[in-house]
Amino acid sequence: NSDKIKQKMEDRIKEKGLENEVKVVMTGCFGLCESGPNVVVYPEGVFYSHVKLSDVDEIVDEHLLKGRIVKRLLFKEAVEENVIKSVNEVDFYKKQTRVALRNCGIIDPENIDEYIAYDGYQALAKALTKMTRDEVIQVVKDSGLRGRGGAGFPTGLKWDFTKKADGDKKYVVCNADEGDPGAFMDRSILEGDPHSILEAMTIAGYAIGSDQGFVYIRAEYPIAVKRLQIAINQAREYGLLGENILNSGFNFDIELRLGAGAFVCGEETALIESIEGKRGMPRNKPPFPANEGLWGKPTLINNVETYANIPVIFQRGVDWFRSIGTEKSPGTKVFALGGKIENTGLVEIPMGTTLRDIIYGIGGGIPKGKEFKAVQTGGPSGGCIPKKYLDTPVDYESLTKLGSIMGSGGMIVMDEDNCMVDIARFFLDFTVDESCGKCTACRIGTRRMLEILEKITSGKGEPGDIEKLEELANNIKDSALCGLGQTAPNPVISTLKYFRDEYEAHVYEKR
């Protein structure tokens, strides 16, 4: 639909003789999914939402030609007491800090010149021409950046381990196998700002001593795949990928590898197996990929959002980065906000922002005046957090303390109408389907848990079922081989902890 709107707008602009003054640019994700298609008119930043093909002529004729804003198309928050707010002044954006998403919705992702105009590739130039490999790693360490893929491992330390590992060949991998249901953070970054990932991976390649990178991306993301390939071709053409980058003597190239959409391939060792052309099944750890990864060689794996932070850390400095977020979790985190919430979409907040500020301040609260009940962070590997913890700051430690995890950034809001046992069943159903079957605890254990949950939710639960479910959940958590199985029981464990009464109501009151 956006393609058609763009085409029609270009045609109308031409018809009215404005083609030398106005340029229509297709950007990446703008964040506010629920209000799309969006059109922003610069330089004023006037923000039109829910634009239809039939609205295009009016925007061109009234706004572009006569300077009269089309009020009926303004985003709901853009008009307040007859004052028209620009896109940066509406609450949804004003309360965010866009670091990883800094260029998304602003630049044309298929045009390298626009990325360069927004300081793109300056960090790479700085690293290659002015810094040693150790200095580059020290900057990443000092920034305090932690892996945004879920576990929060210090990124600089990972880079250092891989640099120090013995190996005649080393690899840099970007994990773009985003698989949580409802999560689209990585996809949006790749669609909106693909060069930032290529730049970061090249810096990483220089730092650890690698000449080859791979982006492992699911084939279900065709626009991201297309834009990444365009970006790779452009970077090669500009001498920013390939041999002797920026005449520094450093060689590095990046290739895409398409995944078939298995959730387990987001686990780094399963991802490695898949790139090697094998079935995507996790390996035992140790050895960790930093020592023995792709084809047994030291391999650095970071996820998309982690890489997206790298160029800007080099451009603006460690102190700037550490001034955002908390001491232990500097920077920001991108979340895909969904479920029972007014403003569904992509949000980026400083670490330490409370759940309340995200859900009510940015998300606009719960629709139809309903009561908030819980929020699920971390997707199927995470947990449900109840209302009494709404003022919890979002950071790795605080979420773990509540029995949930940061995960890669899925955030699903539930209201008073949601049955929490059913929510747990939904997520477990997903992980049962996605289990690779390598270890018994996950392959058989999660299936038995699902059977009990189905029994309970269909009103056939018996005394003892809840305890059996709890015991199984704790055993699987302790004995599964990889992160998928170890975290699969989290939705059950957290709902049992905070909403046990709902399980009991199903079993004892047959609700």
| Binding positions for ligand SF4, rule: CB under 6 A | 264, 282, 435-439, 442-443, 480-482, 484-485
Query: What number of CA atoms fall less than 13 Å from residue 72's CA on the CB side?
Result: 6
Smallest distance, Å, CB 380 to ligand SF4? 12
Whole-angstrom distance, CA of residue 17 vs CA of residue 20: 8
Q: Which residue sits closest to ligand SF4, CB atoms considered?
A: 485
- Residues with Cβ < 8 Å from 376, sequence gap 6 or more? 339, 382, 383, 384, 385, 404, 410, 411, 412, 414, 423, 427, 491
Name residue, tokens 């039109």. Answer: 48
Residue 193 or 273: the one with the smaller Cβ distance to ligand SF4 is 273
Which CB sits closer to ligand SF4, 187 or 438? 438
Q: What values do phi and psi take at 413, rounded to 5? A: -100, 140
As measured in angstroms, the least distance from the Cβ of 190 to ligand SF4 is: 25
Q: How far apart are CA 262 and CA 150, in angstroms?
A: 17
Q: Which amino acid is at 128?
A: L
Residue closer to ligand SF4, measured from CB, 179 or 386: 179
3-state secondary structure of 396: helix
Q: Is 416 exposed, middle or buried (0-12, 13-18, 19+ CB in 10 A)?
A: exposed
Residue 201 CB, nearest distance to ligand SF4 (Å)? 27
C-beta of 198: minimal distance to ligand SF4 in Å?
A: 30
- Alpha helix positions (H), 209-349: 222-237, 268-275, 304-316, 318-322
Alpha carbon distance 448, 399 (integer Å): 27
Provide the token pair at 459.
Answer: 């009103």
370 token code pair: 């309903």
Choose between 289 and 461: whose C-beta lies nearer to ligand SF4.
Answer: 289
**Residue 385 Cβ vs ligand SF4, minimum distance, rounded to whole Å:** 24
Minimum gap (Å) between residue 486 Cβ and ligand SF4: 7
Cβ proximity to ligand SF4: between 92 and 430 the closer is 430
Please state the closest distance from residue 483 (CB atom) to ligand SF4, in A: 7
Q: Read off the tokens for 344.
A: 């569904």
- Report angle CA 320, 323, 324 to the nearest 5 degrees: 105
Q: What is the smallest separation between the CB atom of 362 and ligand SF4, expressed in angstroms? A: 34
**Burial, 35: exposed, middle or buried (Cβ in 10 Å; 0-12, 13-18, 19+)?**
buried
Nearest to ligand SF4 of 371, 433 (CB atom): 433
Nearer to ligand SF4, 224 or 270 (CB): 270
CA pair distance 179, 380, nearest whole angstrom: 10
Q: Which is nearer to ligand SF4, 359 or 432 (CB)?
A: 432
The H-or-E segment that residue 299 falls in is strand 299-303
Choose between 192 and 266: whose C-beta lies nearer to ligand SF4.
266
For residue 262, the minimal CB distance to ligand SF4 (Å) is: 9
Residue placing its CB nearer to ligand SF4 in the complex, 185 or 482 = 482
For residues 186 and 407, the answer to whether their CB atoms sit within 8 Å is no
- Residue 264 C-beta: closest distance to ligand SF4, Å: 5
446, amino acid identity = T
Q: Which residue has the tokens 């965010």?
A: 96
Q: How far apart are CA 55 and CA 52, in angstroms?
A: 5
